[in-house]
Amino acid sequence: MRYITFLAVLISPFILLGYTVQKETQVFAVKNGQELKMDIYQSDSAAILPQPCLVFVFGGGFKEGTRDTQDYSEYFKYFAKRGYTVVSIDYRLGMKDQKAPGMLNYKPLQNAIDLAVSDLYSATNYLLENAEELYIDPSLIILSGSSAGAITVLHADYEERDNHSSAEILPDDFRYAGVISFAGGIFSTEGLPSYTQKPAPTLFFHGSADRLVPYDKLRLFHIGMFGSNSLVNRFKQERYPYQYYSMEDIGHEVSEYPMKEFLPEIEKFITDFVLDRKQLMIDINYKDIMRKPEQSDTPVSYYN
């Protein structure tokens, strides 16, 4: 089945670009009286063979944002036209009306991450239970997320691999096939995260001037937010497969613009690391001298 799916994705750029993309919305859970929905983007080719599934979690600091923000549409359609089922999900916004998080006020952020990860796990279960009807390959579910969504997808894979109780909702033999993080990190009260089991191949994008989600880390003793640079150091140490775009002198806008300007590179990561299972460790120090950096928010300015 994996070989057939791989073959379909391999030839898709040549035969699928003429297909139209259709969007369907389904409710995948009801929590605290709130309907959680997912938008499912598929081309007309979806019924031919089971497709890899690219799940997306939107950004917005866990206080705002929507699954169907127009800025993400190019990303969704690009992969849907190339033989992927793209799924953009709702999740509960635990930081809504909360003050800026900090090292002495981290419980609201920790709770918000827990809610988002729980909702992502519920969406994953829904996809697994309806895989045949949705024409997706359950062994090829790839996570991607922007900012708060990137934090969520990194946490989801980490907690599943690290045997956290939060992941008990997922089938014992399930593993995410890959992770794509646009300016994300992992919040930990135990220092730099250490994986009990090998994580999914991960594609990191992060700007070195990001002041909202730290590029490296922001910590007090063992408590902190560990950004892409710290996580990549752990991947290097343990020889886990990854690809890392370190975007020099760019701020938090890296949470969005690679979904428009790096689409072929993202597709190649999936082909190489997920479908071909190449065991690569790639660091890319990227400097665009023509791009004018935007002023990156800090947690205080963003939440207050």
Closest of 123, 125, 17 to residue 79, by C-alpha: 17
pLDDT band at 294 (very low <50, low <70, confident <90, very high): confident
- For the segment 83-105, the average pLDDT, to the nearest whole number, is 94
pLDDT tens per residue, range 242-253 = 999 999 999 999
Asked if 42 contacts 19 with a C-beta cutoff of 8 angstroms, the reply is no
The two structure tokens encoding residue 56: 């997306």
Give the per-residue pLDDT at 293.
Answer: 85
Structure tokens at 90: 């709702």
Q: How high is the pLDDT of residue 275?
A: 97
The whole-chain average pLDDT of the chain stands at: 93
Strands of the sheet containing 178-182, edge to edge, are 21-31, 34-43, 85-89, 51-57, 136-146, 178-182, 202-207, 242-247, 281-286
Tokens 């944002």, residue located: 65
The burial class, CB within 10 Å (0-12 / 13-18 / 19+), for 242 is buried
Distance in angstroms (rounded) separating the CA atoms of residues 58 and 72: 9
Q: Mean pLDDT, to the nearest integer, of 145-165?
A: 96
Q: Locate the domains of the chain by residue range.
A: 2-303
Q: pLDDT tens digits, residue range 123-144?
A: 999 999 999 999 999 999 999 9
- What band does 10 get if pLDDT is binned at 50, 70 and 90? low
297 falls in which pLDDT band (50, 70, 90)?
Answer: confident
State the virtual CA torsion across 170, 231, 193, 160 in degrees, nearest 10. Answer: 10
As a whole number, mean pLDDT of residues 31-57 equals 90
pTM here?
Answer: 0.93
Q: Does domain 2-303 have CATH number 3.40.50.1820?
A: yes
Check residue 105 and report its DSSP letter: B
C-alpha dihedral sign at 170, 271, 280, 234: negative
Query: Which residues in the chain belong to E strands, given as ranges?
Result: 21-31, 34-43, 51-57, 85-89, 136-146, 178-182, 185-188, 202-207, 217-220, 223-227, 242-247, 281-286
Lowest mean per-residue pLDDT among 18-22, 78-82, 175-179, 270-274: 18-22
Flag whether pLDDT at 232 surpasses 70: yes
Name the amino acid, one letter, at 159.
E
**What is the chain's Cα-based Rg?**
18
Average pLDDT over residues 183-206: 96
Q: Indicate the length of the chain as a whole number.
A: 304
pLDDT for the residue 1: 52
The end-to-end CA distance of the chain, in Å, is: 50
